[in-house]
Amino acid sequence: MKRRHFSAAALAAVTFAAALPALAQDNTFKIGLILPMTGQQATTGRQIEAAARLYMAQNGDTVAGKKIQLIVKDDTSLPDATRRLAQELVVNDKVNVLAGFGITPSALATAPIATQSKTPLVVMAAATSSITEASPYVVRTSFTLPQVSVALADWAPKNGIKKVVTLVSDYGPGIDAEKYFKERLTFNGGQVTESLRVPMRNPDFAPFLQKVRDLKPDALFVFVPSGAGAAVMKQFLERGMDKAGIKLIATGDVTDDDQLNDMGDGALGVVTSHHYSAAHPSALNKKFVAAFEKANKGMRPNFMAVGGYDGMRVIYEALRTAKTTGKAMPSGDALLAAMKGQIFESPRGKMFIDAQTRDVVQDVYLRKVEKKDGQLFNVEFDVIKDVKDPGKTK
Ligand code: PHB
């Protein structure tokens, strides 16, 4: 057998080549973005990924001398998959930040991984109040259901709505919406006469709406997650609930900008409360909406997109300002510290990350569906400034 001989130069070249990926890796800041890209919550994934990519296109992919790499994974909105993907991203890819999280169960399933690995976990979508308490490494840029539901319960009794039936998806955010809406409405002298919960997966609203028709309240208050609003609206109108004198009021998840324009004129006049509308009349939002639509074949950004866009802002700013020694990559703890207390103007309006709770504090708007230039929008008509998550004061 002929023995192979390597020259010293060849060996050095091999060694150098082997060392290259490690060198490149040291300078790469990785964001593991876990989203539902397929299945029932796919619109959330589509919106957030598009927003994250827009943020990077506008702000470059180099921050503080580090190259930003976005690694997108599809969890199909199954929490077991979210947790497994997070584990792989932390252990194999050595991501610096975990982000995304389309639904509450996905965020809750992953929180322990963030704690164990000391990796900041930026929740861009999920909105159950308790998520930020599941790990000290959770930071939220979306919203909470108590935060937006209370505003509507203040508005309703002042506008002739005293008796209300609530209809919510039967899991974290729905239960939060039901509880905080009811508490505040009752405090204001109104009454929730019945609380209905529909399954989160593949809900059939028909039997519930029939029941509401029979109960004949002044209004029906609804929370369903982004993507399910159009089905509720369709069945509400098909059953002639509006003609029977029952008003539809909801969190902005129902008149979701991703679907609103296809809901038809039956949606006109529906009053909702939320933190973001594509029609928010600020210069920054107009620029954001135009750029988002241009980059995505006319797709209108919804509140999920804004959660993703602002989440990227929080991550970029943390990397830019985190305390490090020399050129080293900032630790998870240093990044987390630099995320706390950030205050900035978002397309939604002013927002900040409460340093104590790591949750978002923001303005909440009352909006009404109106036609503008032939398209349906949530037009803001009132604002409650600097709303903290009421779920945190208990
Ligand atoms: C959630 O699962 O926390 C969630 C999902 C979609 C929404 C709101 C909350 O629109």
State the pLDDT at residue 202.
86
Confidence (pLDDT) at 7 = 53
Q: Give the position of tokens 């909702």.
A: 272
Is the per-residue pLDDT at 35 higher than 70?
A: yes
102 CA closest ligand 1 atom index? 5
- Identify the residue whose C-alpha is closest to ligand 1 atom 3: 126
Q: How confident is the model at residue 392 (pLDDT cuts 50, 70, 90)?
A: confident
Amino acid 142: pLDDT? 98
pTM for this predicted structure: 0.93
Lowest mean pLDDT among 1-5, 108-112, 141-145: 1-5
Over residues 59-82, the mean pLDDT reads 97
Q: How many CB atoms lie within 10 A of CB 150?
A: 24
Which residue lies with its CA nearest to atom 2 of ligand 1? 103
Cα 173 to ligand 1 centroid, rounded to whole Å: 6
Q: What is the pLDDT of residues 79-131, one digit of tens each?
A: 999 999 999 999 999 999 999 999 999 999 999 999 999 999 999 999 999 99
Out of 141, 170, 226, mutate this one to test ligand 1's pocket (max ligand atoms within 8 Å of CB): namely 226
Q: Which pLDDT belongs to residue 24? A: 47
- Mutation test of ligand 1: which of 77, 104, 143, 359 has the most ligand atoms closer than 8 Å to its C-beta? 104
**Residues lining ligand 1, judged by CB closer than 6 Å?**
103-104, 125-128, 172-173, 225-226, 253
CB 185 within 8 A of CB 149: no
pLDDT digit string, tens, across residues 345-387: 999 999 999 999 999 999 999 999 999 999 999 999 999 999 9
The whole-number average pLDDT for the span 267-288 is: 98
Atom of ligand 1 nearest to the CA of 128: 3
**Best mutation site among 44, 75, 103, 148 for ligand 1 pocket (most ligand atoms within 8 Å of CB):** 103
Ligand 1 atom closest to 106 (CA): 2
Nearest-CA residue for atom 8 of ligand 1: 225
Taking the C-alpha atoms of residue 186 and residue 194, their distance in angstroms, rounded to an integer, is 13
**Nearest residue by C-alpha to atom 7 in ligand 1:** 225
Nearest atom in ligand 1 to the alpha carbon of residue 44 is: 6
Distance 100 CA to ligand 1 centre (A): 12
Mean pLDDT of 35-64: 97
Find the 6 Cα to ligand 1 centroid distance in Å: 60
Residue 171 CA: nearest ligand 1 atom is 2
What percent of the chain is predicted at pLDDT more than 90? 90
pLDDT value at 10 more than 80: no
pLDDT over threshold 90, residue 6: no
Q: How would you list the strands of the sheet with 66-74, edge to edge?
A: 62-63, 66-74, 28-35, 97-100, 121-123, 138-140
Give 327's pLDDT tier (boundaries 50, 70, 90): confident
**Rg of the chain, C-alpha, whole Å:** 23
Q: Where are the beta strands (DSSP E) in the chain?
A: 28-35, 62-63, 66-74, 97-100, 121-123, 138-140, 163-169, 191-198, 219-223, 247-251, 271-274, 343-346, 349-353, 360-372, 375-387
Centre of ligand 1 to C-alpha 329, Å, is 33
For residue 253, the SS3 value is: coil
What's the mean per-residue pLDDT of the chain? 94
Query: What pLDDT does 108 receive?
Result: 98
Q: Provide, rounded to the nearest whole percent, the portion of the chain with pLDDT above 70.
A: 93
Locate the ligand 1 atom nearest the alpha carbon of residue 103 and give its number.
2
